[in-house]
Structure 1
Amino acid sequence: MSALAPARPLEAHEPPEALGRSRGDVALLVASRSGGELVHGSFHELWRFVGPGDLLVVNTSATLAAALPGRLDGQAVELRLSTPAADDHWVIELRTADRGRYGPPPIGARVELPAGARADLLAPYAGGERLCLARLSLPRRLEDYLRDHGRAIRYDHVGRAWPIDAYQTVFALDPGSAEMPSAGRPFSTELVTSLVARGVLIAPVMLHTGVSSLEPGETPYPERYRVPAATARLANAVHSWGGRIIAVGTTVVRALETVVGPDGALAPGTGSTDLVVTPERGLRAVDGLLTGWHEPESSHLKLLEAAAGADLLERSYRAAHARGYRWHEFGDAHLILP
């Protein structure tokens, strides 16, 4: 894994808009699996690499202000909502007030939240030591409460807080993600219009992400998804005429690969998926992937290897490092084509 990402990658500390640029003013590396070529460009030039009859599948999940300040036994903490469970129960992660690792949540304790809300810590989640199941007691509807008291989840590479709008994509319709499905962030309405005008198709799925800070040895947890019938039908039609299905983000890959049959045909579906895509499993629904740049310990790299192959993926990461590409949710982009 260490060959895929440098020990000290350049990190995107802020959105490009904070530097006086547009969302789409980020670098794009295009890697071709069939020919092995690597091409450097700009995200604004995406239209050069996808064509009429190709289908971009995007995630319409909107990001929640899922980080809440709290107090646990008199100590300031941050409580991060990950995934809803039954009734008012949520899978949550505890962090220190400065967003560091907290350690195993103290089961049976209560976290006091703003405006008289609270979270009772009930049980470890999935046998792990990082996440736990909590019962939330809120004074009003969750989305309204988070709008007033929550903030976007962020990690140390982002030095200051940004408004929740900085963590939304142009496709965001369905609130529910703990963290932004960031592959779609560089898109603008102008770029979408340009792509559609050139005959590129765009279709939605929804997958709500949980918290992403997996510990070593953890695999991705179940996440809620929806693949509409119209998207499944369109994807099958695209494959029938020889077009390419390009997933905008690993979340889209997870959703589509959940509903694909052994023959490669997609069906509509709604539910929770625990699918983990690996090179051994391979991809059945997706031909290409538009994504960001991930750290060497990221669980996403197995999925990327399934899309690109180990050699092309390693060369892509070496080339991105050499050209100064920036990592993480506000960073540059990587398009893997068949």
Structure 2
Amino acid sequence: MTAIKALDFYLPDELNASHPPEKRGLRRDHVRMMVLDRTTGEIKHDHFFHLADYLKPGDLVILNNSRTIPAVLQAKWLRNTVPIAPKVEIRLARRRGEDMWEALIVANPVKTGDILQFSPELSAMVIGEKENSPLKQIRFTKKGTDLYNIIYALGEPVRYEYIEQPWELDYYQTVFASHPGSVEMPSAGRAFSWELLFKLKRKGIQLEFIQLHTGLSYLLDDSLVQTPEDNDEEYQISERTMEKIIQTKASGKKVIAVGTTVVRALETAARNEVLSGITNLYINQHYPLKITDGIITGLHEPKASHLDMLSAFISERHLLKAYDEAIEAGYLWHEFGDMNLII
């Protein structure tokens, strides 16, 4: 296992964005944007809808079109047909097959063979454990689209403690999300509006989409810190998209990843020469990026492994200085917060 030396700093509670921008009276593309120069560390402050000003015709922006599923479910817990608890919470963590998921079951230890009854139409059996992890493997009685349809009807989005009240699932979607599978929103793409995407296209900036389905990042216990290598995620890149990437790089233009998920998928494909599969790639300051020239991302909390990935783009010194300035300037953190372009 790789030792993670994540960056630490003090983040005041009031900078945790608890409301979507739309609930703060802003359009989603009107959040703030901090722009960092990879080489010099120069910092500029702007708004996200001015993104096109920092990109050139021929540059390629790659977005993750994975759609967020409502991954928090409630179930009746049974053992040998005997009810153990009338209501337990299950957090889906990552898909392992058409009818199989790893899940965090928020209850006293469940055993292999226990049944989780979600509704008259849907139940799941606990079929195994993940080594050195609180996650369990469960097999549903439905699969594929039928399973997703019931999950969408019954579930709620994953919500962490800084989100003070529940928001509808639509607030956890990007405007272009199309392939269900992410347990947590691929949030770097949230600030894009259709108007902004069209504006980029009109300027001659290329757009392509990949999928990487995000897994559950927090297991509700501060002592259980998942490293990126513990967090397997499913990704898919089309041959056409990879051809566009190769053409863009060959012409001397930049490939800009929207989010750490996109960086992870692209760099995995470059490293393994496989366009789809599972990735547990850990990227830090020592990792030589082969594809990605810049990243559009949110602001990441102290000690997050995502900060390690950002240090592959820009020195830790420049990154910490920029984050200090963002805190001073009152930028907002997390999925409903402000944006950061490193280029």
Establish whether TM, by shorter chain, passes 0.5.
yes
Q: Aligned residue for 1:113?
A: 118
For the Cα contact (< 8 Å) 2:32–2:47, is it kept in 1?
yes
Shift of 1:137: 2.4
Equivalent of 2:26 in 21, 30, 33: 21
Between the aligned partners of 1:158 and 1:185, the Cα distance in structure 2 is 16
Alpha-carbon shift at residue 86 of structure 1 (Å):
3.5
After superposition, the C-alpha distances for 1:129-169 in whole angstroms (9 at most, x for unaligned) are 32121122249811210121111111111112212111111
1:190 correspondence with 2:192: no
Partner of 2:284: 278
- Matched residue, 2:137: 133
State which drifts further: 6-15 or 270-279.
6-15
Deviates more, 1:45-54 or 1:65-74: 65-74
Equivalent AA in structure 1 for residue 95 of structure 2: P
Structure 2 residue 48 is matched with structure 1 residue 43: yes
The answer as to 2:264 corresponding to 1:254 is yes
Question: What SS class does the counterpart of residue 260 from structure 1 fall into?
Answer: helix
Aligned counterpart, 2:91 = 80
User: Following TM superposition, by how much is the alpha carbon of 1:46 offset from its aligned partner in structure 2, in angstroms?
Assistant: 0.7
SS at match of 1:112: strand
2:128 to 107, 120, 123: 123
Instruction: Give the distance between the partners of 2:110 and 2:174, measured in 1 at CA.
Output: 32
What SS is found at the alignment partner of 1:199? coil
Distance in 1 separating the partners of 2:96 and 2:129: 13
Q: Which residue of 2 aligns with 1:98?
A: none
Aligned to 1:160: 165
* Counterpart AA for 2:76: R
**Contact in 2 for aligned 1:30/1:334 (Cα 8 Å):** yes
| 2:285 and 2:309 in contact (8 A); partners too | yes
Output the aligned Cα RMSD.
2.1
Q: 2:325 corresponds to which residue?
A: 319
Change (3 A) 1:21 1:108: same
Whole-angstrom distance in 2 between the partners of 1:152 and 1:29: 28
What are structure 1's unaligned runs of at least 5 residues? 96-101
Secondary structure at the residue paired with 2:201? helix
**Separation in 2, partners of 1:304, 1:180:** 19
Aligned residue in 2 for 1:307: 313
CA contact (8 A) 1:82 1:210 kept: yes
Equivalent position of 1:89 in the other structure: 100
Q: How far, CA to CA, are the matches of 1:4 and 1:253 in structure 2?
A: 24
Pick from 293, 299, 306 the counterpart of residue 293 of structure 1: 299
Shift of 1:105: 5.2
Residues 276 and 52 from structure 1, CA distance in 2 versus in 1: closer, same or farther, beyond 3 angstroms? Answer: same
Q: 1:114 Cα shift?
A: 2.8
Question: Which of 60, 63, 74 does residue 58 from structure 1 map onto?
Answer: 63
1:200-215 pair list within 5 angstroms: 200-213=205-218
Q: Are the aligned partners of 2:269 and 2:276 in contact in 1 as well (CA < 8 Å)?
A: no
Seq. identity, % = 36
| Contact 1:31/1:335 (<8 A) preserved | yes
Q: Does residue 218 in structure 1 map to residue 223 in structure 2?
A: no
Letter of the structure 2 residue corresponding to residue 39 of structure 1: K
- Of residues 318, 331, 335, the one that matches 1:329 is 335
Residues 182 and 329 of structure 1 are in contact (CA less than 8 Å); yes or no, is this contact kept in structure 2? yes
1:293 and 1:284 map into 2 onto residues whose CA distance is 23
In structure 2, how many angstroms separate the alpha carbons of the residues matched to 1:195 and 1:268?
29
Moved more, 319-328 or 278-287: 278-287
Post-superposition offset of 1:2: 5.4
Summarize the Cα distance change of 1:153–1:55 in structure 2 as closer, same or farther, 3 Å threshold: same
**In 2, are the aligned partners of 1:9 and 1:321 still within 8 Å (CA)?**
no
1:85 maps to amino acid: R
Does the C-alpha gap of structure 1 residues 48 and 332 become closer, same or farther in structure 2, counting only changes over 3 Å? same
CA drift of 1:104 comes to 6.0
Is the contact made by 2:33 and 2:341 (CA closer than 8 Å) also made in structure 1? yes
